[in-house]
A and B are shown apart, each in its own frame.
Chain A
Amino acid sequence: MSPIPPTALNQDAAVAIPATVTSPRFRFLRSPALRKPATIGGLALLLIFVLMALLASHLEPYNPTVKSGPIYAPPSGAHLLGTDDSGADMLSLVIAGSRVSLIVGFAAALVAMIIGGAVGLLSGFFGGKTDMVLMRITDYVLVIPDIPLMIIVAALFGRRLLNIIIIIGAIYWTSTARLVRAQVKSVRERTYVKRVRAVGAGNTRLIGRHILPQVAPLLIANTVLTVAVAIFAETYITFLGLGDPSLISWGKLIENSFKGDAVLNHAWWAIVAPGVCVTLVVLACTMVGQAMEDALNPRLRVGHLSVRRFRLRSLNTGLSSE
């Protein structure tokens, strides 16, 4: 009979992990899910943008903070993407913006990974009361609407970059926690782990040597997905005027186009360029992260209520089972 179809959201608690994930831990890299052109394309795109961010100051044709051309000049030989409402070169602005956007994305995802990973690890490993308490907390955090909370915290506590990173990270760790918890639980049941314990290994050793390595790849895959969410969230916050005013990011460029009446001035280049970048990076992260997760553990279920935006993991059949 056919297996229970993985319809979205129809998911039970952690199921036994199939063989692909035991060891060696990077066998998943050979999974067909990662061979698809879409995934490779996504990876390539991501790499391009990361390189752009790293080499930003070398790639910018002009200084993005000064006026280097007429106001709202259309794309031309001198300015490939035209200029913005202050006469600064759009291409340089977009390249410069990749820095902050990607930094926020990765840093916030890192914060989420650490918090979520820790919560999931402790929850799954110790079970019992710890598990219950931590999962309750996760439930509460999950239910509170993310964007409004971020907006309010940003409004209340200031617009420094660090605040933004922490806020984003502090909200999006929940799905990671659940995933890790499920993973840890099943790993913990493995026989060899029980044997190791019988031999007298302490908890730290157990977690560090045996469980963490099993969990790590999935954690990383999940974090890639979180990067997408984090970049998305940053553009939201900045658009509403809550971003750090001194930094150029893609979100800020979109905000500038809005405030600078780009639509009225028919300056489509000021609007299109930063948005396309965000879309591409988010898309790329989603595809890559999705593919990684599928390759690692296509059948892991984590409960119907852990769906937050971009948790397309539950909709994995769309991309990976073709």
Chain B
Amino acid sequence: MRSADYVVKRILFAIVTVFVAITLNFVLFRAVPGDAVSALRCRNCTVAFKEIQRRELGLDKSKWEQYRLYVTHLLRGDFGRSLRTEQPVLGELWAPIANTMPMITLGTVFSIVIGILAGVISAWRRDTLLDKTGLYTALGFYSMPTQWLGLLMVFFVAGAIGFPTSGIRDPTLGILVPASAGTVIVDRLRHMALPALTLGLSLYGEYALITRSAMLETLGEDYVLTARAKGLKNLPIVWAHGFRNALLPIITLIALSLGTIIAGAITVEYVFSYPGIGLATVEAIDQRDWPVLQAIFLLLTVSVIVFNLIADLLYVKLDPRVVDQ
């Protein structure tokens, strides 16, 4: 099959999967015992009032009709209203999303940087103690529950380096005197540092292993051996080549790891009280705020689908062999 056909195929697949996700979302939340109105914060709601609410939310219609309404609203960007605040859900989620994005970006950057470093060192000193230590450390961190790692960070690291362990900002910054942009950025970064580091540490294992194996393959190839036999100074070429070899899987891995990163972000934000989308998820569960939970889930799923699509397309560009799968 040609590349172009493959691309089209993958895009179509992504679109269909989005619809599957939307449907799954709808089914899941409709299957909840009780409906949206029953969980409504409704101190003095009479049964009559609840009936009116039901009608307004369309809960008295057939499932198909509700589904149709749900999808049409979604396409308009209407995710419904939070049961707790009665505000449009999407509006409530912007701030958490804006908080989470830089943090997980930072975390991913950490994991890539640490991973590549570890992988390179391991490959360089292959089969030595350094190599084995590096590998097992990477695997070890990878096997740790993220929230546990976070707690260890809080316990052993936070105090030692004086970084804050909760929230996103210093409460007194800017109260009486407006704070400069620089101070604000530094403050945000300090609050992001530990959660991002936790995330990074728990995820770098994969990158370390890929980098290492990519390096090793390159080092094992014939032309390299030839070059070495000829006594050529191979370091720059080899490492550059090996590195490039690793680049494709690394990039693809980033795109595919979104699901894992999000999972890690949820627990990290919970441990560090970081007001992002992960914490919002936990709170929505606690408050039984189904519309919010539904919206978050849909957003996460669609993001993962989109990133998978990006990974797919990257693949086609960088390694056309995949098209014949």
Contacts and interface: CB of A to CB of B under 8 A. Distances in A.
Interface stretch (A4-12, A53-61, A108-116): A4-12
Interface string A57-84: 0000000000000000000000000000
Contact of B210 (A8, A145, A149, A262): A8
B226 interface: no
Given A147-B266, A236-B267, A254-B145, A155 B139 contact: no
A271 interface: yes
Contact of A153 (B28, B144, B209, B300): B28
A241 B286 contact: yes
Contacts, number: 190
Contact of A151 (B216, B222, B271, B281): B281
A57 to B, nearest CB: 26
Contact of A139 (B17, B144, B253): B17
A159 to B, nearest CB: 11
A1 B226 CA distance: 13
B305 interface: yes
Contact of A156 (B28, B220, B267): B28
B65 interface: no
A144 interface: yes
Contact of A279 (B140, B210, B256): B140
B147 A147 contact: no
B252 A304 contact: yes
B120 interface: no
Interface string A162-184: 00000000000000000000000
Interface string B313-325: 0010001011011
Contact of A271 (B155, B210, B266, B324): B155
Interface size bracket, A side: 35 or more
Nearest to A309: B260
Interface stretch (A17-25, A122-130, A211-219, A314-322): A314-322
Contact of A268 (B139, B148, B155, B214): B155
B114 interface: no
Nearest to B159: A263
A318 B262 contact: no
A232 B147 CA distance: 11
A145 B220 contact: no
Contact of A239 (B147, B155, B286): B147
Interface string A247-284: 00001001001100011000010011011001110110
B145 A151 contact: no
B148 A254 contact: yes
A275 B126 CA distance: 30
A2 B222 contact: yes
Interface string A135-154: 00001100111111101110
Contact of A145 (B271, B301, B322): B301
Q: Which 10 A-B pairs have the closest CB atoms?
A: A147-B263, A275-B148, A317-B213, A145-B259, A282-B143, A318-B209, A5-B217, A315-B209, A8-B249, A283-B143
